[in-house]
Amino acid sequence: MTRAETPQGRFITLEGGEGAGKSTQRDWLVDCLRSAGRTVVATREPGGSPGAEEIRRLLVEGGTGRWDAMTEALLHLAARRDHIEQTIRPALERGDWVVSDRFTDSTIAYQGYGHGLGRQTIETLSAAASITLTPDVTLILDIPVDAGLARTMGRGGAEDRYERMEKAFHERLRAGFLEIADNAPERCAVINATKPLKDVSTVIRAAIQARLPDAFAT
């Protein structure tokens, strides 16, 4: 039985602030893993399951002040619990690989650091909701705030609630992501997202290869 046929799924997440290119790199990584023979589930947060997608609209649309920090965190956690139970855990149990655009680290960065709830509060709430799943690898795409927000200009659509938050909020969450990476170097790799897309992809592949040596073996 080859490695791709063994029932041992892996969970990879991409994190970072607005405009870092997470969705683009997620799609590239999914294609790359599939080319290596993996069965891969591509997903996102908030969202990734029917119930979580309903909650997503409450979080990414509307006025920036529509929720206070605690309510916002609880909505994210409700969406995450459904996402895990309906999508991520079943896929991993089948032996599939799961690649997600955002996961728990985003709540720590956005609501914990950005909105000031604190990391411990998010971790306590997650434990209360029985959210204990940890990714095998987390890729933190780092980009200066001004550069990231500039990339988001002109996207259009209604899902721009976080993009419209004050610059100081985005600076805090960027610092949060970098601290998360510093505290978990075995799991997290910080990727310079200001480089050309192909260069970013090359660094991502190397970071995964270093942590999951057989990821791209066929």
Over the stretch 78-122, which tens digit does the pLDDT of each residue have? 999 999 999 999 999 999 999 999 999 999 999 999 999 999 999
Q: What is the pLDDT of residue 218?
A: 76
Which domains are delineated in the chain? 3-211 (3.40.50.300)
Q: How far apart are CA 108 and CA 85, in angstroms?
A: 20
Q: What is the pLDDT of residue 156?
A: 72
Strand partners, 13: 100, 138
Q: How far apart are CA 111 and CA 119, in angstroms?
A: 9
The residues of the chain scoring below 70 in pLDDT are 1-7
Entry pTM: 0.94
Q: Max alpha carbon distance in the chain (Å)? A: 53
Q: What number of residues does the chain have? A: 218
